[in-house]
Amino acid sequence: MSRRDDPDRIVLDYGDCTLRRSDIETVAEGQWINDAVISFYYELLTSQLKSEGSEGVITCTFWQPPAVEILCSLAKEELGPQSSPLFPSDLSKDACIVLPISDRYDVALKDNDGGRVVGTHWSLLVVRRLDNPNEDGATRWISTHYDSSMPSRNVSAAREVSRRLQLLAGEDIGRREADVSENASLPRQEGASDCGLYPLLIADGIARHQQALYGSDKTNFSLTAPQDLFDESIRQLTPSLVRSFRLSLYAWLLRWASEEDKGETKAASGAFEHIEQAPEHIPRHFP
């Protein structure tokens, strides 16, 4: 096998994320997208937000799967402001936190050997922190779960992640269950392996619509008309659009990896001019 054909060879490197040839192949039609692809896409969205100067308007953080995995692996007594350096968010400032959810994050689910399940389904959790407190003085947290499978296969995992996120922020929530609402606007997936595409598409929509969703003042969330407009876009994430996005993303990643192959002899550092431009051309199919 030549080095170029090695499935474990790193073919893309951007920010803190890398993709191997085998990772890109999980985007091919009929395959289940893996953690590395989600992390890579979120890294690109974050980079684009920073380049557009949006970061200073609305604080929105995209958590990559490894961070959510750590959140779910810590004992609950370990969660609190003291452990926040392990995570990408400043929970005292972030107004919007976007987290990919896997059924393996449901700590109650065990495999036949009593260990954590491998995970077979992706969904998305969006947690919004309101600076105006509840009547009891506690910060108001609004968690919305987007699942392309209904009834939701990940609702327990989403509640677990939402609860742990509030514990991480130092909230005293006692034994009460986190309040997570299920978004009913998202069309159901048709392809069994398409679930991982929805967390990419919806995260892209949040990145592009965050000002419309929340207004320019992050302490004054708008949850009425702008949210209705966002839900209307969510309704347009039809199976055909999702399939088109998959094909575009797969072709784009292959093209970028091919360009990097060509540039290997030009710069050992891997810092090629086309990579700087890549986030601007990221496939974005959100309506």
Joined together, the tokens standing for residue 2 give 């030549």
Tell me the pTM: 0.84
What fold is seen in the domain 3-281? Answer: Adenoviral Proteinase; Chain (3.40.395)
Sequence-distant (6+) residues with CB within 8 A of 227 are 213
Q: Is residue 165 within 8 Å of residue 159, measured between CB atoms? A: no
Residue 197, number of CB atoms within 10 A of its CB: 26
Residue 90, number of CB atoms within 10 A of its CB: 11
Joined together, the tokens standing for residue 266 give 């030009």
> Domain coordinates of the chain in residue numbers?
3-281
pLDDT score at 267: 34
pLDDT score at 268: 29
Task: Give the amino acid at 253.
Answer: L
Q: Is residue 123 within 8 Å of residue 159, measured between CB atoms? A: no
pLDDT 10s per residue in the chain (287 long)?
A: 455 667 788 989 888 899 999 999 999 999 999 999 999 999 988 887 776 554 455 568 899 999 999 999 999 889 988 888 888 877 777 778 999 999 988 877 665 555 666 788 999 999 987 766 666 666 778 899 999 998 888 999 999 999 999 899 888 766 566 689 999 899 999 999 999 999 999 998 888 776 455 444 444 444 344 566 678 889 999 999 999 999 999 999 998 888 766 655 333 233 333 344 455 566 766 66
pLDDT score at 141: 82
Buried b (16+ CB within 10 A) or exposed e, 95-125: bbbbbbbbbbbbeeeeeeeeebeebebbbbb
The number of residues making up the chain comes to: 287
pLDDT score at 3: 57
